[in-house]
Amino acid sequence: MIHYINTNEKQRKDLRGKKNMMKILVLGDISRSLSCKYVSERLWKYRKDNGIDLVIVNGENSAEQNGIDRASADMLFSAGADVITTGNHAFKRYEAKTLFEEEKMLLRPANFPGMVPGEGTVLVNAAGMTVLVLNLLGVVMMEPLENPFFTIEKILTKYKGEYDIAVLDFHAEATSEKQALAHYLDGRITLFFGTHTHVATADECILPKGTAYITDIGMCGPDFSVLGIKPECIIEKMTTGLPVKFIPSTNKVTAHGIIVEVDKKTKKATSIKRITF
Ligand SMILES: [Fe+2]
């Protein structure tokens, strides 16, 4: 089943008539409710001003504590996110199991065991293109889930012929795992972006066979924090080794992400650039 995104019929006609190019905006890990509110208040305008056709947001920590809940998912969807991806914190909140069953545009990593609620893939229609959006979790220095190389091979076989372009959020710790999987998929998917480390990397590029790539797109979260948390909490933990309550930073928020342009004829990415707002 193909899901139509947040554009109305008139907007879809306009997009079909005018553009040979589709534009995808991706925003990195939303760090707690302050950042969720910040992004939600600005996303529609940013989307409109930049002529964005499809918005993907990693919302795995968009809830008040961490994880994702109904309130933060609703806030992001109503602010203009078409698909929300997640990662290792997908099921941190008790209500997330129901949420993942109900929201088809909310993805959990596809390499969780099959009985886990929700899906790791969704087909969406944006700017007249059918886009396969995928979410996978790394296994290097992370939970021992199915090898993502094997999972994505199965998914691309299953959906063969059903999509124009494929886009992957690879939520992983190790740069080496991200780079290796990207080269393994080069030319077979249109966009590969990494999330989870919360710090944007400066290696955005088009790989030799045409896949747009970046190791990590960074977070939407408070400046001068440690991955969104007050530095003093993390310093205390790292100097004492004792359990410490992680208190979110209340510093000014910056949203980090990427905009990727895709040629609708060739179905290849033509540019990838880092953005902030
Ligand atoms: Fe994560």
d(CA 266, ligand 1 centre) in Å = 33
Residue type, 116: V
Q: Contact, 263 vs 242, CB < 8 A? A: no
What residue numbers bound the domain in which 218 lies? 2-222+252-276
d(CA 161, ligand 1 centre) in Å = 31
Structure confidence at residue 7 (pLDDT): 55
Structure confidence at residue 112 (pLDDT): 97
CATH code, 142: 3.60.21.10
Q: Contact, 220 vs 255, CB < 8 A? A: yes
* Alpha-carbon distance values, 206 to 66, 182, 270 (Å): 33, 11, 8
Structure confidence at residue 17 (pLDDT): 46
d(CA 261, ligand 1 centre) in Å = 26
Structure confidence at residue 258 (pLDDT): 98
| Those residues with Cβ within 8 angstroms of residue 160's Cβ, 6 or more apart along the chain or in another chain | none
Annotated catalytic residue 198 = no
Structure confidence at residue 217 (pLDDT): 98
Structure confidence at residue 73 (pLDDT): 97
Structure confidence at residue 94 (pLDDT): 87
Structure confidence at residue 13 (pLDDT): 52
What angle separates helix 32-49 from helix 70-78, to the nearest 10 degrees? 20
d(CA 125, ligand 1 centre) in Å = 27
d(CA 147, ligand 1 centre) in Å = 17
The answer to whether position 169 is within a domain reads yes
The answer to whether position 239 is within a domain reads no
Task: Please give the model's pTM, rounded to 2 decimal places.
Answer: 0.93
Q: Which residue has 């910040």 as its token pair?
A: 38
d(CA 15, ligand 1 centre) in Å = 34
Dihedral angle sign, alpha carbons of residues 104, 146, 195, 204: negative
CA 191 – CA 212 distance, rounded (Å):
5
Q: Which residue has 């019929």 as its token pair?
A: 9
The answer to whether position 231 is within a domain reads no
pLDDT digit string (tens) for the chain, length 277 residues: 666 565 555 555 555 445 799 999 999 999 999 999 999 999 999 999 999 999 999 999 999 888 999 999 999 999 999 999 999 999 999 889 999 999 999 999 999 999 999 999 999 999 999 999 999 999 999 999 999 999 999 999 999 999 999 999 999 999 999 999 999 999 999 999 999 999 999 999 999 999 999 999 999 999 999 999 999 999 999 999 999 999 999 999 999 999 999 999 999 999 999 999 9
The answer to whether position 31 is within a domain reads yes
The answer to whether position 117 is within a domain reads yes
Q: Give the total number of structural domains in the chain.
A: 1
Cα-based angle 85, 87, 93 (whole degrees, multiple of 5): 95
The answer to whether position 232 is within a domain reads no
Determine phi and psi for 164, rounding to 5 degrees.
-85, -45
The answer to whether position 18 is within a domain reads yes
Bridge partners of 133, per DSSP, are 122, 167
Structure confidence at residue 19 (pLDDT): 74
Q: Which tokens sit at 164?
A: 């124009």
Residue type, 256: H
The answer to whether position 229 is within a domain reads no
CA 242 – CA 236 distance, rounded (Å):
8
Dump the DSSP string for 164-185: SEEEEEEE-S-HHHHHHHHHHH
Among 89, 171, 198, 256, the one annotated catalytic: 89
